[in-house]
Amino acid sequence: MGLSKGWIYTYLTGMVLWGSSNTILLSLQFSEYSLGVKYGHPWFQTLTMFMGEIYCLFVYYLMSFLKERKRKRKEQGLLNSIPNEEKSANKEEDEDDLEDGPMVEVLIDGTPTMVKREASPFLIFIPSICDFAGSTLLAFALLNMETSIYQMLRGYII
């Protein structure tokens, strides 16, 4: 099942519009003056950009919490609606249906093994530091060159 051409064009248009607006707004920030001094603080601007991205994690964790709570309520509702005699008979079947937990059983070399479903959040620490440094260097570059040249060089990186 692939994406339709309409969705692909929508995504491409969004990428071009948001990428261009990001560059234009960042360039406008660097052209501002405060108390007669030109504003140019790439580290601070990169920091505020990453703080905005961190706010997205709050929404993600809220949605995960609500999904888990809904799953638990559904599980409780199913257990409460089944008579006691059928609970013990269907217990093994119900445990097989619940695959949203932190551990999942997989076959490795023909033997069933329990593995973690989610990775440690510390695995993204080094790439996020590299992204922060790269974004800051790009902000320094925009501070010292024309926006059109910056945009072309930025497109070359992708």
pLDDT tens for 114-137 read 776 676 777 788 888 888 888 888
pLDDT of 55-70, one tens digit each? 888 888 899 899 988 8
Q: Please tell me the total count of domains within the chain.
A: 1
Assign 95 a pLDDT band (cuts: 50, 70, 90): very low
Q: How large is the average pLDDT for residues 87-96?
A: 48
Structural domain boundaries, residue 148: 124-158
Q: Which residues share a beta bridge with 111?
A: 108
- What beta strand segments (E) does 2-70 contain? 33-34, 37-38
Determine, yes or no, domain membership for 145.
Answer: yes
Picking from 42-46, 100-104, 135-139, which range would have the lowest pLDDT averaged per residue?
100-104
Instruction: Answer yes or no: is 143 within a domain.
Output: yes
Question: What is the C-alpha to C-alpha distance for residues 77 and 94, in angstroms, rounded to an integer?
Answer: 12
Which of the four pLDDT bands, split at 50, 70 and 90, describes residue 96? very low
Residue 141 in this model has a pLDDT that exceeds 80: yes
Nearest CA among 23, 41, 30, 52 for reference residue 157: 23
